[in-house]
Amino acid sequence: MKRNYKILLLALMLAFASCSFTTKTFDDPDKDKLLMQLITYVLGEGHFSPKDINDEFSEHVFKSYLDQIDPFKRYFYASDIKEFEAYRDKIDDQLKNHDLAFFNLTHQRLLQRIEESKAIYQDVLSNPFDFSVEEEINTEYKTLEYVKSKKEMRERWRTQLKFSTIANYDDLISQQENTFANKKKVQGMTIVEGEEELIFMPDTVAKVKDKKPLAELEKEARKSTLNSINELYDYIEERQREDWFAVYLNAIVAEFDPHTFYYAPEDKERFDVAMSGKFEGIGARLQKKMDVITITEIISGGPAWKQNKLEVGDQILKVKQDDDQPSVNVVGMRLDDAVKLIKGPKGTDVILTTKRVDGTIEDLTITRDVVELEEVYAKSSTVKKDGKKFGVINLPGFYVNMDDYNKRNAATDVKLEIERLKKENIEGLVLDLRNNGGGSLQTVIDMAGLFIKDGPIVQVKTTGGQKEVLKDKDKSIAWDGPLVILVNENSASASEILAAAMQDYKRALVIGSQQTFGKGTVQTVLDLNRMVKNNTSGDMGALKYTIQKYYRINGGSTQLEGVKSDIVVPDRYSYIALGEKNQENPLAYDKIDATDYTVWDTAVDYKQAIANSTARIAQNEQLKLIDENARWVKRIRDKEEYSLNYDNYKAALKLNEEEAKHFEKLTDYKTNLTFTSLPYEMKLMAADSVLKEKRDRWHKALSQDVYVEEALNVLNDLRTSYTIKKVANNVKE
C-alpha cells in the first residue's frame, strides 16, 4: 500500500505545533505589539532557516521598508531620513521588545509628507509643460538621492509628472492624427445610391474638421495626469493604519525569504477565495514589485485567455471601468487596491492600459466573467510526425483535492491520459511543464512513479534538520517509452522535483530554458488567531512561512539552481532576470548526501539525441529570431533614461515600433504538424462548443510551437534506441 505523504506531513506539522507553539502565551492588549510578538516568535521557532535578528537584519529592514513606502523618493526629505537613521540598527531591538517607535515615527511623517505633496503636484500640473526643452528623466528610482529642500522636491515631482504627461500627450496627438487621417479619407465623399450598391462620389463642399492646437492637447494631457494622481491619492487616503503596519511587517518577514509573507485579515480572506479555485474577474494573476503591477499568469479558460492578448510579463499602468469614469493610474498603487479595480461582476468590461513585454503601450478591453479553473487540469493530444504517432500531455499545475486525495488530482489524471494515449499506439510522450508553478508534493511522488519501476523521488529536509527520502513504492509502470519533459523559467517547485527526478534516473530528456525557476522550498500558512487565547484584538490574519527544503535524489538542491535543461532552447525570456535567484533574500543553494537509486536504461542513446537536437537548434531560423528578440526585449526593459523633449521622445517610440516590426514574423511561424484530440474528448466537444474552442486554440498554438516541434524531433531520435516494454501495461492503481 502506498504511503500517504499528505497524512505524514500533516502529522509532522501538528507534532511540531503542539511541542513548540502552544507552550507560550500571547495576550498583549495592543494588537500591533501582539502581531510583532506572534510573528517574530513563529519565524524564530518554525522557519526553515531562521535569521539572527541583529543590527545587520535591522539595516536591511530599514532600507527595504523605506523603499516600499516611498519608492519614487518624492515624499521624504534627506532630513527625514537623517532623523530615521537613529533607528537603522535599532529595529532588531524594537522587535524583541515589541516597540513601535520606528514605525510610529515613519508612519506619522509619511502621512504628513503625503498631505504636503498634494499642494506640490496640483501646483506643478496647473502650469504647462514645455516639451521642447532638452531634458531627461532616470526611472531607476532606487539610485536617486533624497531631496534636501522644497525646491528640489518640487523639481522631482515636476520631472516625474512631466514623464507621465508626455505619454498622455503623445496618445492624444496620435489619436488626433489617426482620426484626422480617417476623416480625410471619407469626408469630401458623398454617398449616392446605385441600383445594387453604394457609390462614393466627391463632395467639394465637405470639410475636414480642424485639428486641436498642440497647446490644447498639452492641457488635456495634464488634466489626464491630474485625474490619475487624484484617483491614486483617493486610494492612499483610504488606507488604514493596519494597512501601513502590514507593509512594515512584510518588510520584516521578507528578510527571512521571498516566500514568507504576512496576510492581513483582508488579504487572508482573498487568499482563501483564491484557494477555492473560483474567481470572478479577468482571469489573470498579478504581482507587484516596487511600483509596478505585472501579469504573472494567465488563467486558462478565463476572459484574458480567451481574448489572447495579455501575456506574462505585461505591466498594467491604468484601469478604467466601462462607464464614463476616468482611467485610474495604478502605478504605485497597492496591489490589493489595483485588484479591486480590475475585478468586477460578470459581464462588465474593464479597460487596461498595458505596457507590453516589448515596451509598446496598448489599451485592452476585457469582459469579466466567472473564471473556472478547469484548464489547470491535464489535457492530451496526439500528433503524427514522419509517419509515427506521438502524445503530448500539458500539465499546468500539480493540483489536488485537499479534502480528499482520492478525488481528482494531477497524478491520476496524467495516468488516465497516458492510458488513453497508449490506446492510440503512441511511440513517444512529451510532458509539457512550461509555466507550471508547482503544487502538491504527493502528486509529484505519484506522477514520477508512473515512469519508473520504484525508488526515491525527492529528499525533504524539515525545520530542525530532519531528512526524509520520499519514495515511489509501486513497481508498476504506466509509460516506459521515450519521454521528453518541456520546461521554462517559470517551471517551479513540484515541476522541478519531477524534472530533476526524471533527469537523475536518466528516464527522460529535459528540454527548454537554461534552467527552471529555482524554488526548492515549501511553505505552510498558519492562522495566527489559533495562537491567541481569548482574543479581544480582532482578526490577527495569517502568516505564510517556509518550513521545508527539497533536494534531488543526487543530493543537489533545486533552490536557486533549478533544473538545468539537457537541451537548451532560446526563448524570449532568456535574458530577463527571472527566477528565485533574482528574488530578494532567497535561501541558499546547498547539497546533501545522495540517496541510493538505479538509473533507468543505459542503452538509450541520449547523447546522440542531444547532439542531433543541438545541431538542429543552431540551424533553426525561428529560434535565431527568438534569441534576437529576447536580446531586444532585454534592452528595451533595461532602459532607464527617457527624454522629456517630445521630438526625441517620439523618435525613440518610432524607433521601437520599427524595430518591433522585425519580430512580427515570429507569430507567423507554422509547422506541418496536426494535433488531434482523443476520441473521448471528441464526443465531449460535440456537445460543448467552449471546450471545442479551447482545444482548437490549443492545437493551433501547438502547431505554431517551435519547442514542441523540437521535442517531437527528439522523441523521433530516441525511438530508434528505445524498446517499449510490455510492463507498461501494468497501471498504477
Cell of 679: 476520441
Q: CA-to-CA distance for 87 and 58, rounded, in angstroms?
A: 8
Encoded amino acid at 87, one letter: Y
Q: Are 420 and 511 in contact (CB under 8 A)?
A: no
Q: Are 457 and 702 in contact (CB under 8 A)?
A: no
Q: CA-to-CA distance for 103 and 27, rounded, in angstroms?
A: 21
Q: Are 322 and 348 in contact (CB under 8 A)?
A: yes
Q: List, in sequence order, every residue forming a beta bridge with 383; answer none if it has no partner.
A: 390, 675
Q: CA-to-CA distance for 443 and 493, rounded, in angstroms?
A: 12
Q: Are 5 and 442 in contact (CB under 8 A)?
A: yes
Q: What letter would DSSP give residue 452?
A: S
Cell of 603: 542503452
- Model pLDDT, residue 374: 60
> pLDDT tens digits for 348-372?
999 999 998 888 889 999 998 877 6
Checking DSSP bridges between strand 328-329 and strand 315-321, what pairing results, if any?
antiparallel
Query: What is the DSSP annotation of 662-720?
Result: TTGGGGG---S--EE--HHHHHHHHH-HHHHHHHHHHHHHHHT-HHHHHHHHHHHHHHT
Q: CA-to-CA distance for 49 and 259, rounded, in angstroms?
A: 12
Give how far the C-alpha of residue 162 lies from the chain's centroid of Cα atoms, to the nearest Å: 30
Dmax (CA) of the chain: 93
End-to-end Cα distance, the chain? 10
- Model pLDDT, residue 270: 55
CA nearest to 227, candidates 382, 136, 76, 122: 122
Cell of 495: 515541476
Q: Which residues of the chain fall below pLDDT 70?
A: 1-23, 25, 27, 180-209, 266-280, 289-291, 300-301, 323, 372-375, 402-403, 602, 723-733
Cell of 591: 547539497
Per residue, the 3-state secondary structure of 271-317, as one string, reads: HHHHHCCEEEECCEEEEEECCEEEEEEECCCCHHHHHCCCCCCCEEE
Q: Report residue 324: phi and psi, to 5°.
A: -90, 10
Alpha-carbon distances of 653 from 165, 167, 361, 697, rounded to whole Å: 15, 10, 10, 32
Give the list of residues 6+ apart from residue 641 with CB closer than 8 angstroms, or none. 136, 137, 138, 139
Q: Are 317 and 361 in contact (CB under 8 A)?
A: yes
> pLDDT tens digits for 564-618?
999 999 998 889 888 999 999 999 999 999 999 999 976 789 999 999 999 999 9
- Model pLDDT, residue 599: 94
Checking DSSP bridges between strand 429-432 and strand 388-394, what pairing results, if any?
parallel
Cell of 511: 528540454
Q: Are 480 and 724 in contact (CB under 8 A)?
A: yes
What residue has cell string 527548454?
512
CA nearest to 317, candidates 272, 370, 353: 353
- Model pLDDT, residue 19: 36
How many residues are recorded in the chain?
A: 733
Per residue, the 3-state secondary structure of 488-546, as one string, reads: CCCCCCHHHHHHHHHHHCCCCEEEECCECCCCCEEEEEEEHHHHCCCCCCCCCCEEEEE
CA nearest to 601, candidates 726, 536, 505: 505
Q: CA-to-CA distance for 622 and 601, rounded, in angstroms?
A: 34
Query: Burial letters for 239-251: b for 16+ Cβ neighbours within 10 Å, e otherwise?
Result: beebbbbbbbbbb
- Model pLDDT, residue 271: 53
Q: Report residue 520: phi and psi, to 5°.
A: -110, 30
Q: CA-to-CA distance for 242 and 260, rounded, in angstroms?
A: 19
What residue has cell string 522587535?
95
Alpha-carbon distances of 403 from 7, 221, 276, 280, 548, rounded to whole Å: 11, 54, 12, 23, 22
Q: CA-to-CA distance for 274 and 261, rounded, in angstroms?
A: 16
